[in-house]
Homo-oligomer: A and B are copies of this chain.
Amino acid sequence: MMTNLKPGPDVNRRITLAAHPNGLPVASDFHLVTEPVPRPGEGQVLLRTHFLSLDPYMRNLMDRIGPGYAPPVPLGGTMPGGTVSRVVDSRHPNYRPGDLVIANAGWQDYSVSDGNDLLAVADMARPSLALGALGMPGFTAHVGLLDIGQPKAGETVVVAAATGAVGAMVGQIAKLKGARVVGIAGGDYKCRQAVDDLGFDACVDRHAPLFGEQLAAACPAGVDVYFENVGGDVLSAVLPLLNSGARMPLCGFVAHYNDSAASSPGANQLPQFLAAILQKRVRVQGFIILDYYGERFDEFRREMGEWVNHGKVKAVEHVVHGLLNAPAALSDLLQGRHSGKVVVRLEA
């Protein structure tokens, strides 16, 4: 990374895509650009980024060929991302300096918007929650679990990446709906966090030598809903436990994000997967949360807002300080090194 201007109040720093990563992103895949802070045109606002959301989907957008649901980042393009931003200058009739908004400013200090992609939010004690429990990850959990997974009281819900931004929400919502909730996480620390802090009934360490057996033991009545967002060996362990009529909302599969596109390692697992889907009459439903904002976001915000305010859902966050730490934090995130929602707090 290289810098041209010294940091200061007139300087915008932005991080761009320098190269398509080969597997995990590394420092040389990113480039730091410094430039004068842009000026808003007529009908535009100037935003200062306060919090930047880091999410697994960002890795997908760094490949030469994008994932299909969103355009890939071009080389030299600013890394994208949801932000909590504050209006610092406005030539837009609906926004005034000081307003707090959810924006798509990406990895930079300042951004300009015509207002169409902004969502005004009331000042909150923890504005970063608008990127986590009350934002896209929470919304993903809410739609995926309730609309697609449809757990009934007493059913068993298995949540992969149990302490991740989405998984932690899925498990807590499932508990509120009366389900037995079994998490899967990497390492003993996260597993204890899922049970002790988040209230899961059980959590199994996917690195344990007897992971499959332990998962089976934790699900004595089988699995009715598997909230799939990791793939790989975790999926293989869940498949034989699925009950007839199980539901599998599918919103991502981090285990494969860093595979090279041409080939994936190991034996062909597709036949066994299809066999399980057929024999257990499973419904697998892929969904992209962007599709649901129009019809479902208000309901989610109302319900989840109450749950968070009343302490029924805990919003776990991992806060990284400073824009320049975003690249390493994304790599850590993709390796499952953090619990909860990962946000970058930009320098004030």
Q: Which residues of A contact B (CB under 8 A)?
A: 67-69, 228, 231, 235, 250-253, 256, 259, 263-275, 277-288, 291
Residues of B within 8 A of A291 (CB): 281
Residues of B within 8 A of A269 (CB): 264, 268-270
Cβ A274 vs Cβ B251 within 8 A: no
Residues of B within 8 A of A259 (CB): 271
Q: Determine how close the nearest CB of chain B comes to the CB of A310; give it in whole angstroms.
A: 33
Which of B228, B279, B288 makes the CB contact (< 8 A) with A68?
B279
Cβ A271 vs Cβ B279 within 8 A: no
Q: Determine how close the nearest CB of chain B comes to the CB of A322; give it in whole angstroms.
A: 32
Cβ B264 vs Cβ A268 within 8 A: yes
**Chain B: CB-nearest residue to A256:** B271
Q: Give the most central of A256, A267, A284: most B CB within 10 Å.
A: A284
Cα A264 to Cα B275 with chains together (Å): 12
Q: Determine how close the nearest CB of chain B comes to the CB of A230; give it in whole angstroms.
A: 10
Residues of B within 8 A of A285 (CB): 281-284
**Chain B: CB-nearest residue to A272:** B264
Known: A253-B275, A268-B269. 19 other contacts (CB 8 A): A68-B280, A231-B271, A235-B270, A250-B278, A253-B271, A264-B268, A264-B269, A264-B271, A266-B268, A270-B270, A278-B286, A281-B286, A282-B284, A282-B285, A282-B286, A283-B283, A283-B284, A283-B285, A284-B284
Which of B68, B231, B282 makes the CB contact (< 8 A) with A270?
B231
Q: Give the most central of A251, A259, A280, A285: most B CB within 10 Å.
A: A285
Cβ A274 vs Cβ B68 within 8 A: no
